[in-house]
Structure 1
Amino acid sequence: MSDRSRRTFDKAFKLMAVELHKSGKSSNEIGRELGIAGDMVRRWSREFASTGASSFTGNGKPVLTVEQREIAELKKELKEAQIERDILKKAVSIFSKSDNKYSGS
């Protein structure tokens, strides 16, 4: 196990790195100057390009639009319903076995 703790960077630092990248500097050059990996600069730039001002909310939890939150909630409900359906299917197959072991008669 590594003794290094995970480094965190505030939004201002990430935005500065993205702005330097947008100005034409290479991500590896920016990484060397800031003491971070070049791939982090590229990842932050991609995130900023896709989500703009709502980028870098912290702790890996992106700010979702109302529609995105609704979709996530519906996906969660669908998964729960599918799990319940699978459990009921198994129960029906157990109780409907032809050997009348579970028929109660």
Structure 2
Amino acid sequence: MANEKLNPMDDSSLEDLRTQFNQEIQTLRSLKHENLVSMVGFSSDGEHLCLVYEFMPGGSLLERLACADGASALSWLSRCCISAGAARGLQYLHQNNHIHRDVKR
């Protein structure tokens, strides 16, 4: 499992954060695609709001691309396949009128 803790912005109230959290849950429940990591649950304990995603083995993509912690370098074919998969996931989001807004390298 991977967790994402949601933190309020400086000018956001807890109520605003909860509204955003509930909207995010509804959106994530509706999105199913082989190139998107699925939400498997959430926690809303008081002020602590957390989304729980399926675990992806092998460490983060950034660590693999940077060969961090002695990880072997990905082949160019693997890099191209990963890039194409990410693009297909983003295309699915856009076709369903969703914008990711936080794609990392």
Instruction: Report the TM-score, using the length of structure 1 for normalisation.
Output: 0.20
Q: Which has the higher helix share?
A: 1
Q: Which has the higher strand share?
A: 2
Instruction: Report the TM-score, using the length of structure 2 for normalisation.
Output: 0.20
Higher relative contact order (CA 8 A, sep 6+): 2
